[in-house]
Chains A and B, each alone.
Chain A
Amino acid sequence: MLLIHCPYCEEMREEEEFSPAGQAHIVRPLDPEVLSDEEWARYLFFRKNPRGLHHEMWLHTHGCRKYFNVTRNTVTYQIMESYKMGQQPSVTASEKGQS
């Protein structure tokens, strides 16, 4: 069981209260009409699957019902930080010497 810090409820809660919601920081293309089918498909379906640091979204389903971001190590499951929507991570893979 993970303990996850919700940046809106401002405290650690049990994983049971949350739902994972996939990769974070995916920006919707501003002008979808100009994209090729391949570029659009990349935006819709292609996701990172890193071994190591990953930025992902979680939903506090049974708490405040807000989405937020988490930086988690996919090998050790260690959560390095959680931060609000619209914010940027302070822990990134390049700093840790990973690709």
Chain B
Amino acid sequence: MSNSINMESPLHHAQLDDLVGQSGDGGVILHEAKFLGHLNLRGNSQDPEFLAGIKEVLGVELPLSACSSAKGERAQIMWLAPDEWLIVVASGTEHDVEKKLRLCLKGHFAVSDISGAQTILELSGINVIDLLKKSTGYDLHLDSFPIGKVIGTNFAKAGAHILRLEKNKFQLVVRRSFSDYIWLWIQQGSKEYGLTIT
């Protein structure tokens, strides 16, 4: 008998892997960036020691201005609130990063591994903006939503964080419990443009 436990992403039941290559020319392209390490970080951004500790462990400065993000080789950091961030690291490295953060950070802070609680959906394609317009009231123009900006907002009435990676490429951070609903919504909403799974 095998002792290994198979990890299942929140969209395991949708069997997205089987849908890869089924349709090649969709206006909306969806990819689940599954099993990434998600660490929630709380701390005082006024404390230089806290900031230095983050830089040392993650190799990238903590993004301090509202709705901003930062990307380093080891981690991507999203600003969630003035004292809260989401750190996304490569699959399987989250325990190590969490341990290092606990070693290097001093004072009043919190690090929580929430990898199992949410997943990241990458949306792109020439009609991705059209799909997003159906889903959120936020102004998607590049002037109000530039590349690198991350917003906590409503997506199809569910809560989600949306990070713009490119003009036509977004990352959606969604809770596990909402992921099936959002998967159904994306299928429905992109019907008229065609949906490609990668």
Which A positions have Cβ atoms within 8 angstroms of B? 8-11, 13-14, 16-17, 60-66
Contact = CB atoms under 8 A, between A and B. Distances in A.
B34 to A, nearest CB: 23
A61 B154 CA distance: 10
Interface of B: 66-67, 80-82, 84, 137-138, 144, 151-154, 157, 159-160
A9 to B, nearest CB: 5
What 4 A-B pairs have minimum CB-CB distances, sorted nearest first? A64-B81, A63-B152, A10-B66, A62-B159
Q: Which of A10, A60, A63 has the most CB of B within 10 A?
A: A63
Nearest to B155: A62
B152 A16 contact: no
20 contacts: A8-B82, A9-B151, A9-B152, A10-B66, A10-B67, A11-B66, A11-B144, A13-B138, A14-B154, A17-B152, A17-B154, A62-B152, A63-B152, A63-B153, A64-B66, A64-B80, A64-B81, A64-B152, A65-B80, A66-B82
A9 B67 contact: yes
A17 B67 contact: no
A42 to B, nearest CB: 33
A62 B80 contact: no
Nearest to A65: B81
A10 B151 CA distance: 11
A60 B80 CA distance: 11
